[in-house]
Amino acid sequence: MSFATAMEVNVEARRILAVSISKLYASRSQRGGLRLHRSLLLSMVMRSARDIYHSSRESEQPNGEQPATEEPMDTNCDPKEKARLTPDLADTSADMAPGVSDKLDESDCDITEDKENLSPAKQSRKRRGKASAAPDFLPSKRARLEPGEERYAAPVGSCRAGVGDYRSALTLNQVIPAF
Amino acid sequence: MRPGGGSSDVQWCFSQVKGAMDDDVAEADIISTVEFNQSGELLATGDKGGRVVIFQQEPESKNQPLRRGEYNVYSTFQSHEPEFDYLKSLEIEEKINKIRWLPQKNAAHFLLSTNDKTIKLWKISERDKRPEGYNLKEEDGRYKDPNTITALRVPVLTPMDLMVEASPRRVFANAHTYHINSISINSDCETYLSADDLRINLWHQEITDRSFNIVDIKPANMEDLTEVITAAEFHPNQCNTFVYSSSKGTIRMCDMRASALCDKHTKLFEEPEDPNNRSFFSEIISSISDVKFSNNGRYMMTRDYLSIKIWDLCMETRPVETYQVHEYLRSKLCSLYENDCIFDKFECCWNGNDSVVMTGSYNNFFRMFDRGYQQDVTYEASRENSRPRSILKPRKISTGGKRKKDEISVDSLDFSKKIIHTAWHPLDNIIAVATTNNLYIFQDKLN
């Protein structure tokens, strides 16, 4: 895939992710409660967008090691191996629809934030207890990677120096709240 | 190409339209289900406000033998009310998801209506006589002083104006954790099934305090959830057989004789996906929104977002016929995802002899596919084309660059006007098509 096409795909994937997240939020206030079928379909779209986003980002690497292919997408991956939402997505939340990034910001206040890219209005200094924390299906904002560090290798609940009590990033399937 | 499409010699005409004329649609008036009874004499609609309206066909008049009777309001009642689940802090919508008529056994009519959580059995009966001449009661119902009674008489039934009463005879509640999407009455005339996103329950029509769970696809860990049940139906004449469709585009047929819990299917109907059509939205558009057995019980039809598929029950590997409903929307899936239209759950229906199938689309279009003549046609349900007995003109959508006269371009389609619910009279060429809040009745032109 050419670099330009990978960029377009990347942008499209992020846009679809943003739209999906806002739909999930909207469905919380729907009469009749969350619809399981709709939530499942939304999470599937989000997973596809995430996979595309990953593979298009890989194809943007200068060494071009893993040329990204758009199809066939692996949507049958083993549940245990499902990657978490990439932190890069959280970092680029400022690029997404303002409404969405507001919500992303609220989810985790203890994590090192990219303060340069946040407008003052979006910085939330509120500390929230766990009980009143944002719902589970939000992607967490995780600290930015230092150069050379690997994200995928990090197990759930690992602590890094300088990062306080952060909520572990959740798999996309936890988008469907437990009934 | 013969005019009128559908079956080669049928010309469809406007017959009636029911519902308010305003463009301002009250949400409670949005029609959510349409169903003819087994004789076609009664047509029931359910709406988002929890009401059921039943229309009855007038008998054909002797003066105009070639005109079918009109459908007029027979009964209206509030079937379901909004409720609140205090445990989950969730409102339960009163919207009627499905209505199914029971086969008629006596003078009264019975139907099952369901919202997201509760199914109700309603009895609709006529009263055209009332007893008069009670010994102990006055005509207005007040009790007489027994000391004033000097004679004894037998009360007599005297005619009165016809009154149609609807009374709830059974309430089948508290059996579904998830939202009910289907009910289907068994050909054994005793039981029926109800299906939600993850489970299917079998009920006896007389027993409300228990039901049997016959399908359960809830995973031990909800994080492993990959598909949900989208529709279920009993076979029209094999009382042991039912099917259920899934959000993954598969249909499973189960035999209740095999085991009490029918988690293992007898047959699995699935068509391999075309890799050329892969997109972000492949899963959504392959989700089946409706499944219907043919009247003869040899085929079943499924509706997904873009197509209708006819399956031979003896062949699981692929459908025997596939009809594209609105293939021109495939390139617009992203926009349809953003405006939520991609989640619309279109229904489909067979005609009485299984030769034609019908389903709805956008812009108040509906489509008919003639299986025998391999013809398809698009019609529009609109007030403009609603002069009495005016013949419906086939509509064409232009997908290429050049738009011919009378064609409609894809970009000018109104996606807020959709036909989700359609029904075909079981014995005659009369169809009921629901737009957002209006019910259109069309019939073929009798010559």
Summarised one tens digit per residue, pLDDT across range A121-169 is: 544 455 544 444 444 455 556 565 566 655 664 444 444 433 333 333 3
Does A84 score more than 50 pLDDT?
no
With cut-offs at 50, 70 and 90, classify the pLDDT of residue A85. very low
Euclidean distance between CA atoms B76 and B98, whole angstroms: 16
State the pLDDT at residue A105. 37
**Which of B340, B300, B348, B306 lies closest to B321, judged by CA?**
B300
CB-CB under 8 Å, A48 with B287: no
Does B66 score more than 80 pLDDT?
no
Output B286 or B403, whichever has higher pLDDT: B286
The whole-number average pLDDT for the span B402-415 is 88
The whole-number average pLDDT for the span B359-369 is 97
Instruction: Report how far apart, in Å, the C-alpha atoms of B362 and of each of B30, B33, B232, B381, B434 are.
Output: 16, 17, 25, 11, 12
The Cα of B368 is separated from the nearest Cα of chain A by a number of Å equal to: 28
State the pLDDT at residue B384. 85
Euclidean distance between CA atoms B72 and B316, whole angstroms: 43
With cut-offs at 50, 70 and 90, classify the pLDDT of residue A38. very high
State the pLDDT at residue A154. 43
Q: Nearest CB to B283: which of A32, A41, A79?
A: A41
Euclidean distance between CA atoms B2 and A158, whole angstroms: 71
pLDDT, averaged across chain B: 93
With cut-offs at 50, 70 and 90, classify the pLDDT of residue B276. confident
What percent of chain B lies above the pLDDT cut of 90?
Answer: 80
CB-CB under 8 Å, A37 with B287: yes
Interface of B with A (CB under 8 A): 85, 88, 90-93, 95, 116, 177-179, 197-198, 222-228, 230, 247, 275, 278, 280-284, 287, 334, 337-338, 340, 343
Does B124 score more than 70 pLDDT?
yes
CB-CB under 8 Å, A45 with B337: yes
The Cα of A71 is separated from the nearest Cα of chain B by a number of Å equal to: 7
Choose from A16-20, A173-177, B7-11 the range with maximum mean pLDDT. Answer: A16-20
State the pLDDT at residue B415. 97
Does A111 score more than 50 pLDDT?
no
**Which of B280, B340, B305 lies closest to A45, judged by CA?**
B280
CB-CB under 8 Å, A75 with B93: no
The whole-number average pLDDT for the span B363-384 is 95
CB-CB under 8 Å, B224 with A32: no
Does A102 score more than 50 pLDDT?
no
Whether A48 contacts chain B with CB within 8 A: yes
The Cα of B29 is separated from the nearest Cα of chain A by a number of Å equal to: 16
Instruction: Report how far apart, in Å, the C-alpha atoms of B14 and of each of A156, B33, B71, B355, B430 are.
Output: 64, 20, 13, 21, 10
Is the separation of the CB atoms in B7 and B352 below 8 Å? Answer: no
State the pLDDT at residue A152. 61
The whole-number average pLDDT for the span B254-279 is 91
Domain locations along chain B: 32-125+165-172
State the pLDDT at residue B235. 98
Question: Which residues does B103 contact at the CB level (< 8 Å), separation at least 6?
Answer: B38, B185, B189
Q: What is the pLDDT of residues B194-229, one digit of tens each?
A: 999 999 999 999 999 999 999 999 999 999 999 999
The whole-number average pLDDT for the span B414-431 is 97
Residues β-bridged to residue B241:
B255
The whole-number average pLDDT for the span B281-297 is 96
State the pLDDT at residue B60. 81
What percent of chain B lies above the pLDDT cut of 70?
Answer: 97
